[in-house]
Amino acid sequence: MKAIIIYLLGSISLIAQSFDLLATYTLELNTDFPNSHTTSLFINSNENISYYILDFGGIKENEFNEDSNEIIVRSKNTDNLLIYNKLNEFIISQELTFNDSFWVKESLSFDWEISNETKESDGYVMQKATTTFRGRDYIAWFTKEIPIPMGPYKFYGLPGLILEIYDTDNIYHWTITKIEENKTIASNNLYPEHHDFLSMKQFVEKKENSDNQIDASIISRLPKGANLKSVKSSTMPVERKGIEIKFEWEED
């Protein structure tokens, strides 16, 4: 029986979408607030699309219905990060500020350098590749045994599924934990198809303004002589400490 992922966002009108592969990853965050999260990559290789969902709340065991073979995720928009990748065309991502979320549409490409170095894990022969993305250097391990050019987060473009990827400072580390075939995700529209999307530059400007306003508001309420130390949540990428810390328009 096919498992069904139900992703509830408060709508009773659901749309079923089929995927030939579901890759589940663990994301280890070695940030100021170390943590780990389960992330899911739904792939439709025929249509060259993928949905990447980071569930900050996690899937509880008691939300799995063994009789119907359904996994039910009940959470609000702000508890999840969603990235839609239309391969070689565009990426739509839900980007978070301190107290809001925005939809960003952009075109990305990765300059991968593929090594002859290999290793084996869980029965898969993996090959090493490296790239630089928005201020961080990454090492990826992919397998040609699953010839799908996708990976977690926004990463794609290798001749096989990315099973592991991490930055060289090991602050962000994705490791695959499960691969399943033939999945259906039932939800309202996962992302707004008709929307005034922001560019990444527009979003960064909004986030900087939001952060500055929040800091200014906090400072204005501090006792005389007190200092401000930012303690924002590690699950919501902090500007210049998140996954993306340097952008294309900032390159020398």
What is the predicted pLDDT for the residue at 182? 82
SS3 label, residue 99: coil
Q: Is 62 in contact with 70 (CB distance < 8 Å)?
A: no
Q: Residue 184 pLDDT > 80, yes or no?
A: no
Which band of pLDDT confidence, cut at 50, 70 and 90, is reported for residue 158?
A: very high
Domain that holds residue 88: 4-109+173-187
* Rounded Cα gap, residues 143 and 163, in angstroms: 7
* Rounded Cα gap, residues 181 and 171, in angstroms: 30
What is the predicted pLDDT for the residue at 224? 67
| Higher per-residue pLDDT: 138 or 81 | 138
Q: Give the pair of three-digit tokens for residue 26.
A: 């663990």
pTM exceeding 0.85: no
* Percent over 90 (pLDDT), the chain: 44
Domain presence at residue 196: no
Q: Residue 214 pLDDT > 50, yes or no?
A: yes
| Higher per-residue pLDDT: 117 or 223 | 117
Residues in CB range of 235: below 8 A, 6 or more apart:
29, 35, 37, 56
Domain presence at residue 122: no
**CA-closest candidate to residue 203, choices 252, 155, 156, 237:** 237
Beta partners for 241?
Answer: none
Which band of pLDDT confidence, cut at 50, 70 and 90, is reported for residue 145?
A: very high
What is the predicted pLDDT for the residue at 96? 81
How many structural domains are present in the chain?
1
Domain presence at residue 136: no
Domain presence at residue 141: no
* Rounded Cα gap, residues 123 and 118, in angstroms: 13
Domain presence at residue 75: yes
* Percent over 70 (pLDDT), the chain: 68
Q: Is 104 in contact with 197 (CB distance < 8 Å)?
A: yes
Domain presence at residue 100: yes
Domain presence at residue 67: yes
